[in-house]
Amino acid sequence: VVVRPSTTEQVSRILALAQEHRIPVTTRGAGTGLSGGCIPTEESLLLSTERMKRIIEIDSENHVAVVEAGVTLFELDEATAAHGLRYPIQPGEASASLGGNIATNAGGMRAVKHGVTRHQVLGLEAVLPGGEVIQCGGKFVKVSSGYDLTQLIIGSEGTLCVVTKATLKLVPRMTQRLTLLAPFENAEDITRAVPKVVHSGVSPSLVEYLDWVGMGGAVRRGGADLSIPEEMKQKAKAYLLVVLEGNDSNRVQEDGESLGELLLGENALDVFFLSESEASKIIEGREGAFWSGKEAGMADQVDVVVPRASLSKYVESVQGIAQAHQTFITFTGHAGDGNIHLGIFQNDPKVFSDVMGEIYDLATKMGGMVSAEHGIGRAKKKYYQKLEDPVRLALMRKIKAAFDPENIMNPGVVFDGQTSA
């Protein structure tokens, strides 16, 4: 059964009934998630937020937007542009809903400057399983008045409550953009350069890593025409893409030049300043990396995170795993955040599962986590539950029980079962 409420009141009545009859509820926004968090089971009610589309307010004095959960990133971007503002979180998929972004604490390319969803959500309206409505946070950054329920709900993948509205922090929309592309012969050099780029003081808004396969995919998908000499392309194992933004074109240009020198000093083969149109094509192509991979037969994409400075060691070790299991693995990712996307090409389900297990295990051992931005959902649950500390897992189950005593909210997503508190 699919229900499509258009108001918080309707959501409240649905959840009251669901709790009374113990019917599991899976909330679904635009359905663009990559971990299966919005896929219901057969017994579940699917609560779609697709009709909750109101942009309630763009408050240009407080630089805040208030939106319903079903509003998409694209719709919000259009609405904020009219005010010279922007919601700075940009996961690859602009058709994603804000509610879905909140459920998975979506990250994306601009996290190196603006953090992730949790850093931009100031408040929430949510409906609890019994139908009670709560308001959390508000139009302010600073607060120390009881537990931060907003932050607890963000990233909970629909397992605690249904988010109906969000108060979002906006930032001024910059007018100038400069994009640098640097090919490297050696992937390690890139990961060594990244901390220096991030902390150079120029505050880049995007620091992306693409291996040669990922770069090829991004170029093809975006239809870009990079004038990199063929000989250099042959040499280049990986690329670093850096975007600078600002309102003063001279400053952005100056920063770009000093960053270019920094990269050459870090063994970049060259540094290309891309035209605005080529830059957009490459970034679009990069955003579609998941789909390029899928078209090419990729089994799945992993979004592990490790400490930024450990990226090169992680990439090297994963290459060892790939060789040992005769599996092809591509690397693209948000290098500035230590968040790397591995494209796993392996059709044998047993080998695939082993490879995934080893990749996650390695990330965890290196001080990282299973998912940086896609969430655990159903797809990564078996790996996550195995690696997660049982004490933390028990605590999370008790927190879930505090919100959802009948275990009706997206059961089986993130973790299995539930102990009573």
Q: What is the separation of C-alpha 369 from the centre of its chain, rounded to a whole number of angstroms?
A: 14
User: Beta strand pairing status for 25-28 and 55-59?
Assistant: unpaired
Q: What is the separation of C-alpha 289 from the centre of its chain, rounded to a whole number of angstroms?
A: 13
**Is residue 149 involved in binding its own copies (CB under 8 A)?**
yes
Site for its own copies in 371-400 (CB under 8 A): 371-376, 384, 388-389, 391-393, 395-396, 398-399
Of 1-9, 92-100, 138-146, 260-268, the segment contacting its own copies by CB under 8 A is 138-146
Site for its own copies in 339-368 (CB under 8 A): 339, 367-368
**Is residue 154 involved in binding its own copies (CB under 8 A)?**
yes
DSSP secondary structure string, 218-287? HHHHHT------HHHHHH-SEEEEEEEEES-HHHHHHHHHHHHHHHHHTTBS--EEE-HHHHHHHHHHHH
Nearer to its own copies, 44 or 120 (CB): 120
CA atoms of 97 and 71, how far apart (whole Å): 5
Least Cβ distance, residue 410 to its own copies (angstroms): 13
Least Cβ distance, residue 90 to its own copies (angstroms): 13
Site for its own copies in 93-122 (CB under 8 A): 104-107, 111, 115-116, 118-119
Least Cβ distance, residue 308 to its own copies (angstroms): 5
Least Cβ distance, residue 106 to its own copies (angstroms): 8
Least Cβ distance, residue 117 to its own copies (angstroms): 9
With 0-12 / 13-18 / 19 or more C-beta atoms within 10 angstroms meaning exposed / middle / buried, residue 81 is exposed
**Is residue 124 involved in binding its own copies (CB under 8 A)?**
no
**What is residue 5's three-state secondary structure?**
coil
CA atoms of 282 and 210, how far apart (whole Å): 11
Least Cβ distance, residue 225 to its own copies (angstroms): 32
Using an 8 Å Cβ cutoff, are 196 and 268 in contact?
no
Site for its own copies in 299-328 (CB under 8 A): 305-309
Among 50, 148, 266, 354, binds its own copies (CB under 8 A): 148
